[in-house]
Amino acid sequence: MGKTKKGLFQKSLDGIEFLGNKLPHPVTLFAILALLVLVLSAALSQLGISVEHPGEEGEMVEITNLLNAEGIQYIFSSMTDNFIGFAPLGVVLVTMLGIGVAERTGLISALLRGFVLSVPNRFITLGLVFAGIMSSVASDAGYVVLPPLGALIFAALGRHPLAGLAAAFAGVSAGFSANLLLSGTDVMLGELTIAAASIVDPAYAETMNIAMNYAFIAVSVFVLTLIGTWVTEKIVEPRLGSYKQEGNEETDENLEGLKPVEKKGLIWAGVSLVIGLGLTALLILPENAPMRGTEGSTMDQIVQSPFMSSLVPIIAILFLIPGLVYGVVTKVIRNDKDVAGQMSDTMASMGMFIVLAFTAGQFVAYFNESNMGLVLGVYGAEFLDSVNLTGIPLILIFILITAFINLFIGSASAKWAMMAPVFVPIMMQLGYSPELTQMAYRVADSTTNIISPLMTYFAIIIAFAQKYDKKMGIGTLISTMIPYSIFFLVGWTIMLIIWMLFGIPLGPGGPLEYPN
């Protein structure tokens, strides 16, 4: 069989794959970056560089040498604290305790299957993309459940299964930062953003909360659902053409829908969730509620409240209770040992994240201790200001830079741990809020996930697709997903620009401007 001559586009994809494969593992990458910070701190400290602290008038800041006697003492004495104090570590693990139980009892899977299979045929694409976007609330569960399910549904309806797989994959991955609920992503990125903002203005950072982007990501769900549906039905499916089924024996079995016990479990889980939400509302809505703030207007008392700073355990509990109820009803949970085992399995699956947190924690701590982030932020802001690159053009450049970096580093938390200490201070110096910088990052990070061969689940999606097309490879999948990536990126960016032009807050306590 003769080889097809590769065009410029295919060669570009091969180049991206080659360069991406040359990057070290994220754990190693952060270790290298930490060492680089140490060396640079020693070298730059000798140059006598100093800037005025943007948050403290008249206070001069110099780069700290981390390789002198005091610096070496700091490296060894702070190593454990740097790990424990890594912003996302505790909050992600606590959140995943609740989400993990909901996932391992089968609640998340049943919810996704029940929703998609209950949607009328004419709205199946819409429902599939929507379910994919909403699945990000359960972390990575959507990657495993929805793409193969989407392929099966499309095949059963006489449509091309790869179009169903692509629609689900686009929703799950490209829409990862959009949701009607707060998720582990909000927690993880939010903590990193708050830590980066504290480099410039600790007082401002204390007023921030992880729901800072909620309004924008909630509206994004509907915008991206419509875009994903249009791309599937107008571009991807026509390009794939018709599909001839070859005795797909599993289709009928897998499309039977929910079992009676699963339906019963969902009903009782829903009841428990409603009760949980009601009790949660009592913590903040009544005037004298225990988790409500005491100063300012009613909105201020809600936004700047102990409740908003306690969203991590609240989210965990609101996942844990329905997960427990569902598990008990379906008999997946028979005693407390089963619950402990599920939580233990969830923590075991977080092993790589914990290792990553160790090296990333050292890098972030060294970067902050050296003052390089603050100095770089001031100089970077002055440079951008001198070339008049501000406003919407600045946000567009930042989005494009992030989207490009995302092709090589798939982990959202890993990228933001590196980028936040640099870009958040720069944007703050130019008058843009950390909340806006984080949202611009999330737009770029999510939309190019589906065309990066280095994305964690990329190989799994190819394996799912090869069931229907034995020749499916990296290039084929990327070429199928590129329309989603382009239209999601363009549409989402336009939405952010409109948001900026109208001056709409990104969420509770999520302004667009930083009052420097």
Distance CA 409, CA 390 (A): 27
Kindly tell me the burial class for residue 467, based on how many C-beta atoms sit within 10 Å of its own C-beta (0-12, 13-18, 19 or more): middle
Asked whether residue 55 is domain-assigned, the answer is no
Could you tell me which of 350, 341, 340, 441 has the C-alpha nearest to residue 398? Answer: 441
**pLDDT (average), residues 307-329:** 86
Asked whether residue 6 is domain-assigned, the answer is no
Count of all residues that appear for the chain in the document? 516
| Interval 118-154: pLDDT, tens | 778 788 899 899 988 987 765 566 776 678 778 877 8
Range of the domain at 433: 25-44+65-502
pLDDT score at 22:
63
Distance CA 180, CA 191 (A): 20
Asked whether residue 17 is domain-assigned, the answer is no
Contact (Cβ atoms closer than 8 angstroms) between residue 182 and residue 214 = yes
Partners of residue 507 on adjacent β-strands? 510
Residue 307 in this model has a pLDDT that exceeds 70: yes
pLDDT score at 276:
92
Asked whether residue 227 is domain-assigned, the answer is yes
Q: How confident is the model at residue 13 (pLDDT cuts 50, 70, 90)?
A: very low
Distance CA 316, CA 405 (A): 31
The values of phi and psi at residue 172, to 5°, are -65, -45
Contact (Cβ atoms closer than 8 angstroms) between residue 232 and residue 167 = yes
Contact (Cβ atoms closer than 8 angstroms) between residue 462 and residue 474 = yes
What one-letter code names the amino acid at 275? I
| Interval 391-401: pLDDT, tens | 889 899 889 88
pLDDT score at 58:
67
Residue 323 in this model has a pLDDT that exceeds 80: yes
Asked whether residue 54 is domain-assigned, the answer is no
The residue among 473 and 442 whose pLDDT is bigger is 442
Asked whether residue 146 is domain-assigned, the answer is yes
Q: How confident is the model at residue 496 (pLDDT cuts 50, 70, 90)?
A: very high
Residue 9 in this model has a pLDDT that exceeds 50: no
Token pair recorded at residue 225: 């659902």
Tell me the CA distances in angstroms from 306 to 300, 309, 311, 356, one per residue in order.
Answer: 12, 5, 9, 30
Token pair recorded at residue 143: 């990657």
Asked whether residue 283 is domain-assigned, the answer is yes
End-to-end C-alpha distance for the chain, whole angstroms: 65
Residue 79 in this model has a pLDDT that exceeds 90: yes
| Interval 151-206: pLDDT, tens | 877 877 778 999 999 999 999 887 778 888 877 678 778 888 998 899 889 989 98
Residue 384 in this model has a pLDDT that exceeds 70: no
**Count of domains in the chain?**
1
Residue 495 in this model has a pLDDT that exceeds 90: yes
Token pair recorded at residue 195: 């830590």
CB contact burial 421-454 (16+ within 10 A = b; e otherwise): bbbbbbbbbbbbbbbbbbbbbbbbbbbbbbbbbb
**Structure pTM?**
0.66
What one-letter code names the amino acid at 400? L
Kindly tell me the burial class for residue 115, based on how many C-beta atoms sit within 10 Å of its own C-beta (0-12, 13-18, 19 or more): middle
Residue 490 in this model has a pLDDT that exceeds 50: yes
Distance CA 192, CA 357 (A): 12
Could you tell me which of 272, 273, 294, 292 has the C-alpha nearest to residue 282? Answer: 292
Distance CA 66, CA 75 (A): 8
Whole-number CA gyration radius for the chain = 24
pLDDT score at 65:
92
Asked whether residue 509 is domain-assigned, the answer is no
| Interval 238-266: pLDDT, tens | 888 887 765 443 444 345 578 899 999 99
DSSP 244-270: -----THHHHHTS---HHHHHHHHHHH
Residue 295 in this model has a pLDDT that exceeds 90: no
In the numeric block, the tokens 């075991």 are attached to 348
Cβ neighbors of 165 (< 8 A, separation 6 or more) are 147, 148, 150, 151, 154, 461, 464, 465, 468
Token pair recorded at residue 208: 């921030």
Distance CA 461, CA 148 (A): 8
Could you tell me which of 190, 98, 89 has the C-alpha nearest to residue 137? Answer: 98
